[in-house]
Amino acid sequence: MKSLRITLAALSLSAVSSLALAAGNPLSVHVLNLENGLPSPGVNVTLEKHVGKDWQPLAQGVTNEQGRIGELFPAKQAFEAGEYRVVFKTGEYFKKAGRETFFPEIPVIFEVKNADQHYHIPLLLSPYGFSTYRGS
């Protein structure tokens, strides 16, 4: 009986934490430099939504000292299902660091099917390669 209460309490806390996350900003990004294993501060990032045949600008931000933008989606706009694009301006970042890069911009296109969820887009970056995935 005690283990059932603990399980129910854990499920309740999980549901509450999911609601709290969904109530916050629905989109965050994180940039890590694979070359040195450190966060990438100062990377300009834009967010766009696919509308018809065009991409509509929604927001812009710059990664902080931890390489993060915790709230990229516009605060007063409804987060809706659809196709979005996050563009990392990596050429500017590497130029400031005195480095060359093969990828001056890295666009990451993703589809939102459930607007109640949080979407986290990490970018693992080096001058001549990158990787991304849906984070949490």
Report pLDDT digits (tens) over 16-44: 333 334 348 999 999 999 999 999 999 99
- 136 pLDDT band, cuts 50/70/90, is confident
Check which CATH number belongs to the domain holding 31 and give it: 2.60.40.180
Tokens 């501060």 sit at which residue?
41
Annotated binding site: 30, 68, 133
Alpha-helix runs per DSSP H in 74-124: 90-96
What pLDDT is recorded for position 24?
84
Domain presence at residue 8:
no
Range of 52's domain?
A: 27-132
* Domain tally, the chain: 1
What pLDDT is recorded for position 1?
53
In the DSSP assignment, the letter for residue 98 is T
Strand-pair category, 119-126 with 27-33: parallel
CA distance 27 to 104: 23
The three-state secondary structure class of 32 is: strand
Tokens 């969820």 sit at which residue?
117
Average pLDDT score over residue span 126-136: 95
Q: What are 59-103's pLDDT values in tens digits?
A: 999 999 999 999 999 998 999 999 999 999 999 999 999 999 999
Annotated binding site for substrate: 30, 68, 133
What pLDDT is recorded for position 8?
36
C-alpha of 125 from chain center: 14
Tokens 């995935």 sit at which residue?
133
Domain presence at residue 113:
yes
pTM value is 0.81
